[in-house]
Chain A
Amino acid sequence: MDKIWLIIQREYLTRVRKKSFIVMTLLTPLLMAGLVVGPVLLAKTGSKQRIVEIVDAGNLFGGVVPTSEKIDYQFVGTDVAAAKASFRKSKHTALLIIPPGFRLDQPGDVQLVSRENADLETTRRVKNAVDNQIEASRLRQSGIDRTTLDKAKSDLDLSSIKLDEAGGEQASNSGVTTGVAFGLAMLIYFFIFLYGVQIMRGVMEEKSNRIVEVIISSVKPFQLMMGKVLGIAAVGLTQLMLWILLSWGATTAVAAVTGAPGMAEQRMEQVTASSARTPEEAAKEKAKMSQAMEGGVLKAMGNLNLPLILGSFLFYFLGGYLLYGALFGAVGSAVDGETDSQQFMMPITIPLIATIIVAQSVIIRDPNGSVATWMSMIPLTSPIAMMMRIPFGGVPGWQLGLSMLLLVGGFLATIWIASRIYRVGILMHGKKVTYGELSKWFFYKA
């Protein structure tokens, strides 16, 4: 046992001290911070006031200047040709042309002229302004008051409540749940890939270095393989922890330094501005959103069964990694070089990729359906599939238990198969390995 411990130590320390590990660990959180803070900063600095000229030849606006937060509208008479000429000389953003024969019942031929292609933001805002004006005019024609219409509009806020077995009620939020489920499943997926490949590389390194024969004359091949798998797991966990800590630290620090206040607010503004047409509507949306944030999301987060989710995440995270890690180790032992490894990687990566695809399309929509249930039982797919289901709740206890049991069993079976291939493979050189060959190795006596 203390020999496995020695191997784990070596695998861990040599990796953690590598420059590439340190660089990756430090750079990734900075990148994350950049991704979070960057757009907000950009939005802040890029929001200069735009000036749009209007030639209202068709008399749509009736001399009333539309109001807008980001755009100043100016009337420039009704002569289209003259307006175009003067616009060319001005530094204004765009020129909106309402043609002379403009009809409310058949609106068309409205143009937005600009020097370069008008940016999306401006185009969208101008379109909203024109649409609003047309609507308002039509309402007026039909004799309907705007406030009457607003009163008639229905805006139901459907709050979804989850009824738990004890008969209690909990607010749930399928958006939050989906986010949590998918985030955790992706984390498992990436972790298995990133570090599984590291196991494979490590085994291949030992094999091509020819140090392996010395090592396995001191320890059993199984100990060497397990030591490597566990050592690299520790590296991965260290990196994950550091990423979480540093990302949080970096984001806070960057936000503090650049003075981007209330990033969530900024984000919300971007979202609401795009869906709402009028400032009043936007304000209303914003209020609703922040209410949802404080009440809904946080409450929904609080109502998720966090201890269960985190506990099973840890279990499936480690279980999945160990199961696939053993397989990656076996592949590394069987091949002589990176190029040969591709053909044996295939059967390992296919279940992983298939699960993630099915998870996105099927499981997320029907987390307790039969596809989801079956996939969360099979050990090769269960780490990701079960992680997609758990946050939605409703996974019966026996299913969770069975799935975990099967994963443990699956892990033991895979590590047994993998170690039988491994112990032969690491001593084989210069042989083109086929699947037939692999199965022969499996039946070799020790």
Chain B
Amino acid sequence: MQPILQAIDVRKAYANHVALDGVSLDIPEQSIFGLLGPNGAGKTSLIRIITQITGADSGEIRFRGQRLNPSHIAQIGYLPEERGLYKKMKVGEQLLYLAQLRGLSRADASARIKSWLERFDVKAWADKYVEDLSKGMQQKVQFIATVLHEPSLIILDEPFSGFDPINANLIKDEILELRKKGATIIFSTHRMESVEEMCDNIALINRSRKVLDGPVSQIKETFKTQTYEVEGKGHLLVVHPDFEVLEHHDRENGYFYDRIRLHAGATPNDLLRFLIGQVEVHAFREQIPSINEIFIRRVRETMPESLVEEEAEARR
């Protein structure tokens, strides 16, 4: 299937630094796409190009195969990281205004505002001034404003910041619901657990380049290190050319916990057989790297040598 959004060799430079350097991405239709990267990596620049706030210096963005142009604005919803509302405007009027700017008719907008406010159980807010709402309430209003015009591509930059766990969950459910209804969500965040939980695909951007992308499950597969966690009882002594103990902990009553890596050619069953000969095995599982670990690893790896040295220097 054709991706909903394609970035092809996008480059963007500011006066004294390059924000994006030849970034290409494919974002599949009806998926949740995690856009990851440390602060200052170029995520916001990429998002601002997709939302047509700025343009790329070279390269191209395609929306469903078409070169991105102002007619696509109505199909894109955007919740920026730095977000706010007009304080001296009523919630209802504000939503109406923002929806109309996105190309919705007045009548349609009114009907949808009503149903969204009902959905979030906040019908009474429509006539309240934004400045009288709590921060969490304002965040909800901003979320409604983002999705009110039923965009097919929704870009959420750190959507959970500022939400309490209950409301964060509510928003999470809404995001999953939107995908079910056919929307694609680009999701920029630092919260790795939500990436793991929700994203189908991710791309990692570091120092203005894409350093990793693909389906989450596939990435995890690639980043597996053939490491297994073993828990059991007995005295474990590993002297074997195929296995390497990375970590060993003795626990009370003769229990232990080990992390063991297989060398090339060895299978988990070999290790298991070896273990059974020595100790009582209670648990045996493959250690799958979390996105967080992959993130940190890749960021470190793609750091230029000089910076690695600098960091080492600083630690000393």
Interface set of A (CB-CB < 8 Å, partner B): 3, 6-7, 10, 14, 18, 205-206, 209-211, 213-219, 427, 429, 440, 444-446
Check: B137 CB closer than 8 A to any chain A CB. no
> B84 and A211: CB pair below 8 A?
yes
Measured between alpha carbons, how far is A7 from B102 in the docked complex, in Å? 12
Given the known A-B contacts A14-B89, A444-B15, are A210 and B101 also in contact in the complex, defined by CB atoms under 8 Å?
no
Instruction: Give the contact stretch, choosing among B59-67, B75-83, B202-210, B219-227.
Output: B75-83
Cα-based distance from A6 to B55 in the complex (angstroms) = 25
Give chain B residues whose Cβ lies under 8 Å from the Cβ of A211. 83-86
Give CA–CA (A205, B87) in the complex, Å: 9
Q: A427 to B14, alpha carbons, bound, how many Å? A: 14
Nearest CB of chain B from residue A67's CB, rounded to whole Å: 66
A219 CA / B79 CA spacing, docked (Å): 15
A10–B90 CA distance with the chains assembled, in angstroms: 12
B57 at the interface (CB under 8 A from A): yes
Indicate which residue in B14, B85, B97, B146 contacts A6 across the interface (CB closer than 8 Å). B97
Please give me the residue from chain A that is nearest to B90 by CB atom.
A14
Would A217 and B88 be within 8 Å (CB), given that A10-B97, A210-B83, A211-B83 are in contact?
no
When distances are taken between beta carbons in the complex, the residues of chain A under 8 Å from B101 are: 3, 6-7, 215, 218-219
Give the residues in chain A near B78, CB-CB below 8 Å: 213-214, 217
Residue of B with least CB distance to A221: B53
Shortest beta-carbon contacts, A-B, top 6: A210-B84, A209-B84, A217-B51, A218-B101, A213-B80, A210-B82
Cβ-defined contact, B84 with A217, below 8 A: no
Q: Which of B14, B15, B83, B102 contacts A218, CB < 8 Å?
A: B102
B5 at the A interface (CB under 8 A) = no
Selected A-B contacts with CB under 8 Å, 5 pairs: A206-B86, A209-B86, A210-B82, A211-B86, A217-B51
In the complex the two chains form, is B100's CB within 8 Å of A6's CB? yes
* Shortest Cβ distance from residue B190 to the other chain A in the assembled complex, whole angstroms: 19
Q: A218-B73, A218-B98 are in contact. Are A429 and B82 (CB under 8 A)?
A: yes
Is B54 an interface residue when CB atoms closer than 8 A count as contact?
A: yes
- B→A interface (CB under 8 Å): 14-15, 48, 51-55, 57, 73, 76, 78-80, 82-89, 97-98, 100-102, 142, 145-146
Structural contact, B52 and A217, CB atoms closer than 8 A: yes
Q: How far is A216 from B76 in the complex, measured between Cα atoms in Å?
A: 13
Per the bound structure, the CA–CA distance linking A214 and B144 in Å amounts to: 13
Q: How far is the CA of A360 from the CA of B54 in the complex (A)?
A: 47
Query: Which residues of A sit under 8 angstroms from B80, Cβ to Cβ?
Result: 210, 213-214, 217
Which A residues are CB-close (under 8 A) to B48?
Answer: 427
Report the bound CA distance from A446 to B15 in whole Å. 13
Interchain CB contact under 8 A, B85 and A209: yes
Task: Find chain A residues with CB under 8 A from B54 CB.
Answer: 446
Whether A217 contacts B76 by the Cβ 8 Å rule is yes
Question: In the docked arrangement, what's the CA distance between A2 and B184, Å?
Answer: 28
Question: Is the pair A14, B88 in contact by a Cβ cutoff of 8 Å?
Answer: yes
B15 touches A214 (CB 8 A): no
Q: How far is the CA of A7 from the CA of B48 in the complex (A)?
A: 22
Q: Which of B55, B83, B85 contacts A446 (CB 8 A)?
A: B55
How far is A10 from B85 in the complex, measured between Cα atoms in Å? 14
CB distance from B266 to the nearest CB of A (A): 53
| Chain B positions within 8 Å of A219 at CB level | 101
B53–A14 touching, CB < 8 Å? no
Given contacts A427-B53, A440-B15, contact A217 B82 (CB under 8 A): no
Whether B73 pairs with A217 at a CB distance below 8 angstroms is yes
- For the complex, give the distance between the alpha carbons of A215 and B86 in Å: 11
Q: Which residues of the partner chain B approach A446 to less than 8 Å between Cβ atoms?
A: 54-55
Additional A-B contacts beyond A215-B101, A429-B82 (5; CB < 8 A): A210-B80, A211-B83, A217-B52, A218-B102, A444-B15
Nearest-CB residue, chain A, relative to B87: A209
List the A residue with the shortest CB-CB distance to B50. A217
Residues of A near B142 (CB, < 8 A) are: 214
Q: State A446–B54 Cα separation when bound (angstroms).
A: 6
Given contacts A6-B97, A218-B98, contact A14 B82 (CB under 8 A): no
**Please, which residue of chain B has its CB at the minimum distance from the CB of A2?**
B100
Contacting B98 at CB < 8 Å: which of A205, A214, A429?
Answer: A214
Whole-angstrom distance between the Cβ of A440 and the nearest chain B Cβ: 5
- Beta-carbon contact of B85 and A445 below 8 Å: no
CA distance A440 to B15 in the complex (A): 8
Among B53, B55, B73, the residue within 8 A (CB) of A445 is B55
Q: What is the minimal beta-carbon distance from B59 to any residue of chain A, in angstroms? A: 13
| Residues of the A chain whose Cβ atoms lie less than 8 Å from the Cβ of B76 | 217
Q: Which of A209, A210, A216, A218 has the largest count of B CB atoms less than 10 A from its CB?
A: A218
Task: Report Cα–Cα, A14/B89, bound state, in Å.
Answer: 7
* Beta-carbon nearest neighbor of A15 in chain B: B88
Closest beta carbon of chain A to B103's beta carbon, Å: 8
In this complex, the member of A205, A213, A219, A446 whose beta carbon has the largest number of chain B beta carbons within 10 angstroms is A213
Give the one of A3, A209, A429, A440 with max B CB within 10 A.
Answer: A209
Residue of B nearest to A9 (CB): B97
Do B85 and A217 have beta carbons less than 8 Å apart?
A: no
The closest CB in chain B to the CB of A429 belongs to B82
Q: What are the residues of chain B within 8 A of A217 when measuring CB–CB?
A: 51-53, 73, 76, 78, 80
A427 to B54, CA, bound (A): 11
The residues of A that contact B52 with a CB separation of less than 8 Å are: 217
Docked-complex contact A213 and B82, CB < 8 angstroms: yes
A446 nearest in chain B by CB position: B55
Given known A-B contacts A210-B84, A429-B82, A216 and B89 have beta carbons under 8 A apart: no
Q: Chain B nearest CB: distance from A193 CB in Å?
A: 23
Q: How far is the CB of B79 from chain A (nearest CB, A)?
A: 8
**In the complex the two chains form, what is the Cα distance from A216 to B80 in whole Å?**
11
Task: Point out the residues of chain A lying under 8 angstroms from B53, CB to CB.
Answer: 213, 216-217, 427
Residue from B54, B84, B88 with most neighbouring chain A CB atoms (10 Å):
B84
Task: Kindly report which residue of chain A lies nearest to residue B76, judged by CB atoms.
Answer: A217
**A residues in contact with B86, CB < 8 Å:** 14, 205-206, 209, 211
